[in-house]
Amino acid sequence: MSDKISKGAALVTGASSGIGAVYADRLAKRGYDLILAARDEGRMNALAARLRAETGVKVDVVRADLTQRDDLARLETRLREDASVTLLVNNAGAALFGSFTDSGPDRLEDLIQLNVVAVTRLAHAAATGFGPRGRGTIVNIASIVGLAPELFPGSVYGATKAYVTYLTQTLHAALAPQGLTFQAVLPGATRTEIWDRSGHGLANVPDEILMPVDELVDAALAGLDAGELVTIPSLPDPADWAALEAARQKLGPNLSAKRPAARYGVKVAEPA
């Protein structure tokens, strides 16, 4: 069996530009066949033609708007039923900056649909397909803002990305014993089109904090190769993340109890 066949196919959402397009490039060079999904079919076709010519892999292009149930359902079916798919890169997402009250409720709902509902449904479909085969990898693109609400006060975007990290961790705990691999990638500020699409504008982001997208994806793949569950490409010392996790675990025994903590001074009811 060739290395290419053994790796199978990778389904990459948001594959027409930015992080998704670079993932497509790197995975093709690693020998994965590709299923590219995004709204911009023209860009995907151009990317697919280049990757077929450069790497010889098979590339399918699927035009899909993941805020639309029918488009989402087609990808779910592919993930559940196509045994060649071994990797999902859940990358499609959007940002929405500005205060909570200044954002229209319909725009907030669309953001949640793309960043939370679509990510969840695709991960569910992939896990459902991978589980019986005892192999498969799900990479979910989250964000460092999910760890730092003070960076974007009132931002639903940050809340959606915190959800993505939490989902990835819980899926790992539940499904890794079945042979599935999970990774949450938490980019910081990255040089992609998301800034202009969100209305913030790339020109308004300090250049010294913008990571080139190819370096981001290369670091994320290195983290995946190393077996990291959570990858923060800009984090110099992984011990810092380990310390955060240890502090969270320390809370565990006191997160739920029969009585309120004594520090609140609540009068405890006498036993009947």
CA 143, CA 185: separation in Å to the nearest integer?
Answer: 7
* For helices 105-112 and 156-175, angle between their N-to-C axes, nearest 10 degrees: 20
In contact, 109 and 68? CB cutoff 8 Å: no
In contact, 203 and 115? CB cutoff 8 Å: no
Nearest CA among 225, 191, 199 for reference residue 99: 199
Query: Which one from 23, 157, 166, 264 is the annotated catalytic residue?
Result: 157
Q: Which residues of 101-110 are buried (b: 16+ CB within 10 A; e: fewer)?
A: eebeeeeeee
Whether 157 is catalytic is: yes
Q: Which residues of 210-223 are buried (b: 16+ CB within 10 A; e: fewer)?
A: ebebeebbebbbeb
Q: Which active-site residues does the annotation give?
A: 157
